[in-house]
Structure 1
Amino acid sequence: MNKITLIFSLVLSLMFQAKPINDSIDFTDHINRVLWDDCDACGCAAGSGSSGFESLLNPQFIGIKYFAQHYKAKENMFVKDLSQDQYFNTLQVWGKIPVTKNLSVYASLPFHFHEKKTMQGDINISGIGDLNVMGIYRLMNSKDNFHQLNGGLGVKVPLGKFDEKGISGVNPSFQLGTGSWDYQAALNYKFQKNKLALLVNTDYTVKTVNKKHYRFGNQWNYAATGFYQIAGNEKTIFSAKAGLQGEVYDKNKQFNEVLPNTAGSALYGKLGFEASYKKFSLGGEVMLPAYSNLAGGDIEARSRFSVFINFGI
């Protein structure tokens, strides 16, 4: 719990210790370019939902993001220690296009390249993941622009390959896709004043049965992230961010039978930065687990890292 306390204290200090500055620079566009972490945990190459999106207020853009995850898992049933390293890597193309004043459409297409190290040798898979599409609607915007609330409904199109053999391992999410049509609902709240911003997000993904009669468990994500603008002018902005992000997974099923050791949850602390120059924005983030209980303890979350570059169009 020390990690949770440290990160949470940092967020609170950013929110409450910084004093309002009348001549501060408005970094709305900069915060608006902070995007989703579009990957499930545990590799969730099953790739459906997201692990919480940072903002639903992005201007029109195209971008590329790299996202890496590291887990430790049991090698086999006769090994007590978590000795197997599993690496999940995703390179993702995304974009967001406004349709009306309050309605936008977001889409992302990932390319996964995953690896796990076993006693029999390394196992690698790579290929296109599942396509995500979401409609985003602005539900509320205060007159002073300090508060904003957005909602979204989305669908995941099963373009990624689902390998039935992969579900026999410790981590059945060692896949390129779920093989199923999955559906997501999301809410995003933003508070911004002067050089401070706070984003609170939650989303829930309903996963359906695929052609192999396998169903990944539904997923709930939540996150709170604080931002503070360190420097900036009319063209350039640099800010730091810190927060917490949690994920909860329901049990997987096959032929409608519940599979043991497939549910779990994890909580991460995260630190990162965002920088922008004119229409370009660059960001990076490191996440470390404060709590991990995945697959009945057979999998342990270790670390995550992401970096993105976007261009406003």
Structure 2
Amino acid sequence: MKDFQNIKKIVIVTLFIAFGISKVSAHEIKGSCSNHETFSFFCDLCGCSTSSGSFGFGTLSNANFIGVRYIYQNFESKNGIFDDSPKSEETFNTYQLWAQIPITDAFYVTANLPYQDLNRSYTNSTENISGLGDSSLIGWYKLAFYKKKKEGETVDFNSEKEPSGHSIQFGLGVKLPTGKFEERLADNINPGFQVGTGSVDGVFSLGYNYGGDKIGVNTLLSYYLKGENKNEYQFGNQFSYAVNMFTAFSTEKMNIMPFVGISGDVYDSIKQYGETLQDTDGNILNASLGSELAIEKFIFGASYTLPVSQNLFGDNVESKQRFSVYVNFAL
């Protein structure tokens, strides 16, 4: 109930700010999807095994930004193979500072600094851990494609190339062990109940984007190469994927972009002291919907995610739902 009340407060504050800013005079935002970037993906790198790498979108608008984001995740863990085995309810609250900073026209950097507040409730007790999570830094190169000149058309070498709406993005980054890893929690049914991993991890991403006059489509594939921490504990490598479609509805003062999509993660087994731990791998497929509202230099967004199918830690951990809201300021 406490987590639900926190979500309500954040949503109310976000809507209140959006309503207030809508009273301010804004520049015209064009309605064509081709005038906006597709998802500038920014991976949510808590680093823990149950945290989705495919979850966490950047802004849909064509803007570099700095902002704040809140992510709520809910899990249920079962300690045993029977229906009446003891269960625990877990809620992950993540508060992020995040940014997308341009370096050149084709190269930009994304950065993320999270604060984790994790709660777990049993039948007769509760547990809480909180603190700074694992930060990340990713460099992105964007390769844009342009329209070809029609046959017989005069080539003007002084004119600018016309974008085709298609582009490919390459990402290379690192997750840093700024979050504390507690070895006493490693034997939990859900090993993801940690504020950090204590390891340095590599991030490799490849994305395809298309923005047309009516719709936009994007895909992102990411691979997370997990390192071993000082406790000789190594979370399993992770493959994440996401496909999303969106459209845009514009007025003189604002731009609204709803989207739908699917995403998923595949987790390798965890290793400790060089040994593979049983029932620590898994996979999950999610469906998401949400929307983004751009007014002047402010960008407001929200998304809701539900699992379609999953098999996590030998079916002993079940992901329930995820919810995210963010407020960004375009640079």
What is aligned with 1:139?
143
Q: What is the rounded CA distance, in whole Å, between the counterparts of 2:146 and 2:53 in structure 1?
A: 27
Is contact 1:36-1:51 (8 Å) kept? no
Query: How far off is 1:82 after superposition?
Result: 7.0
Query: How far off is 1:37 after superposition?
Result: 5.0
Matched, 1:87 2:91: yes
Matched, 1:213 2:232: yes
What is aligned with 2:14?
none
What is aligned with 2:54?
51
What is aligned with 2:327?
309
Q: What is the rounded CA distance, in whole Å, between the counterparts of 2:36 and 2:296 in structure 1?
A: 10
The one-letter code matched in structure 2 to 1:263 is D
What is aligned with 2:42?
36
Is contact 1:30-1:281 (8 Å) kept? no
Is contact 2:45-2:134 (8 Å) kept? no
- Aligned ranges for residues 216-227 of structure 1 at < 5 Å? 216-227=235-246
Secondary structure, counterpart of 2:44 in structure 1: coil
Q: What is the rounded CA distance, in whole Å, between the counterparts of 1:95 and 1:208 in structure 2?
A: 25
Secondary structure, counterpart of 1:198 in structure 2: strand
TM-score by length of 1: 0.85
Question: What percentage of aligned pairs have identical amino acids?
Answer: 36
Alignment partner of 1:164 out of 146, 167, 183:
183
Matched, 1:196 2:195: no
What is aligned with 1:105?
109
Is contact 2:240-2:264 (8 Å) kept? yes
Secondary structure, counterpart of 1:297 in structure 2: coil
Q: What is the rounded CA distance, in whole Å, between the counterparts of 1:275 and 1:29 in structure 2?
A: 15
Secondary structure, counterpart of 2:164 in structure 1: coil
Secondary structure, counterpart of 2:229 in structure 1: coil
Secondary structure, counterpart of 2:105 in structure 1: coil
Is contact 1:62-1:94 (8 Å) kept? yes
Task: Let me know the Cα RMSD of the aligned residues.
Answer: 2.3
Query: How far off is 1:60 after superposition?
Result: 2.1
Once the two structures are superposed, what CA deviation does each residue of 1:80-104 show, in whole Å capped at 9, x if it has no partner? 4573211111000001111112111
Query: How far off is 1:141 after superposition?
Result: 2.6
Q: What is the rounded CA distance, in whole Å, between the counterparts of 1:70 and 1:168 in structure 2?
A: 20
Is contact 1:139-1:149 (8 Å) kept? yes
Once the two structures are superposed, what CA deviation does each residue of 1:239-288 show, in whole Å capped at 9, x if it has no partner? 21101011110000001100011100000111111110011111111111
Is contact 1:32-1:55 (8 Å) kept? no
Is contact 2:51-2:192 (8 Å) kept? no
Matched, 1:178 2:203: no
Secondary structure, counterpart of 1:165 in structure 2: helix
Q: What is the rounded CA distance, in whole Å, between the counterparts of 1:29 and 1:122 in structure 2?
A: 49
Once the two structures are superposed, what CA deviation does each residue of 1:186-206 show, in whole Å capped at 9, x if it has no partner? 011111111210111110000
- More displaced 10-residue stretch of structure 1: 158-167 or 24-33: 24-33
The one-letter code matched in structure 1 to 2:230 is K
Q: What is the rounded CA distance, in whole Å, between the counterparts of 2:58 and 2:207 in structure 1?
A: 7
Structure possessing the higher radius of gyration over alpha carbons: 2
The one-letter code matched in structure 1 to 2:315 is G
What is aligned with 1:258?
276
Compared with structure 1, are the counterparts of its residues 162 and 286 closer, same or farther at alpha carbon in structure 2 (3 Å cutoff)?
same
Structure 1: which 5+ residue stretches go unaligned? 1-23
Count of residue pairs brought into register by the alignment: 286
